[in-house]
Amino acid sequence: MNKIISFIAKIGNPVTSFIIMLGAMFMLILQIIASIPYCLRRFHLVIKELFFSGVLSLVIISVSGWFVGMVLALQGYNTLQRFGSVSVLGSLVALSLLRELGPVLSAILFASRAGSGITAGIGLMKATEQLDAMQVMSVNPVSKVFAPKLLAGIIAVPILNVLFNTCGILGGHFVGVTLLGLNNGAFWSQMQDSVSFNYDIINSIIKSFIFGICITLLAVFHGVTSKATAEGISSATTKTVVHSALAVLALDFILTAFMF
């Protein structure tokens, strides 16, 4: 009997803590949504966050996009060569970047570059009791700290995604046309023939928009709920990166199933 009870307790504890986490997260989301109008009136808060999460990610996003595009073109060329249809390389690179690789990789890079920073920042504010101090001074930390970060994430991730795609396609063009000597016109015309604006590009931007919301929410949530110790902050940062990578990949599957 005791064994059964302890078994049920073993299952029940993670389930209830998961439900508690969901509830806390939902409350946080509601609070953040409620304070978005405040943020829009004080837009310099958002601009500051955009600088740290967006502008400082420009280099890593463009460089990795360039290399992903080059690798895609190189691998695609080797495979397509066997079937004698190297001419579709342009559409291969563009479609795989726009539909999957661009949104997913830029989101994961954003999570590890900016998401971890958001969590560590909020965790440290919590550990040094800055959040409590704000509340004492009747400044709402949700509207002053969390909501600007969320808005900045929502704005930054789609832009980074578009940049990633552009750099990737240019990288693919560099390998395909400049190094491997494909026909420049055929490369672009095959691409233009298969990529449609409404279908591929809009969906790519919608995807990254959703990923941006998801990553920044997770980052803010893990920062707020972190233990106020050095280990607490470091484990919260790890959790942010792991959870957002998992969430992005799972969401990507669901979104792809709906979109394409």
Partner 1 sequence: MKRITLDFWVGVFVLIGIVCTIFLSLKVANIVSFNNYNKNTYTLYADFTNIGSLKNNAPVKVSGFTVGKISDISLDPQSYQAKVTMQIDNEYKFSSDSSAEILTTGLLGEQYIGLKSGADTETLQNGETISYTSSAMILEQLIGKFMTNMSSK
Angle between helical axes of 184-194 and 89-96 (0-180°, round to 10): 50
Residues 199 to 218 in contact with partner 1, rule: CB under 8 A:
200-201, 205
- Taking CB under 8 A as the rule, does residue 241 contact partner 1? no
In a 13 Å sphere around the CA of 177, the CA atoms on its Cβ side amount to: 14
CB of 78 to partner 1, least distance (A): 16
The owner of tokens 């509207």 is: 143
Contact 172, 57 (CB under 8 A): no
Which of these segments, 108-116, 162-170, 215-223, 236-244, binds partner 1 (CB under 8 A)?
Answer: 162-170
Alpha helices in 54-183 (DSSP H): 58-83, 89-96, 102-110, 116-127, 130-136, 141, 147-173
Quick one: which of 39, 92, 150, 191 contacts partner 1 (CB under 8 A)? Answer: 191
Amino acid 6 reads S
Quick one: which of 32, 35, 39, 54 contacts partner 1 (CB under 8 A)? Answer: 54
- Taking CB under 8 A as the rule, does residue 158 contact partner 1? yes
- Taking CB under 8 A as the rule, does residue 63 contact partner 1? no
Q: Report the residue number, 140 or 194, with the smaller CB distance to partner 1.
A: 194
Separation CA 74–CA 89 (nearest Å): 9
CA 16: distance to chain centroid?
Answer: 28
- Taking CB under 8 A as the rule, does residue 227 contact partner 1? no
- Taking CB under 8 A as the rule, does residue 193 contact partner 1? yes
Residues 65 to 84 in contact with partner 1, rule: CB under 8 A:
83-84
Tokens of 218: 């997770």
Separation CA 151–CA 142 (nearest Å): 12
- Taking CB under 8 A as the rule, does residue 169 contact partner 1? yes
Binding site for partner 1 (CB under 8 A): 44, 47-48, 50-51, 54-55, 58, 83-85, 87-88, 94, 98, 156, 158-159, 162-163, 165-166, 169, 188-197, 200-201, 205
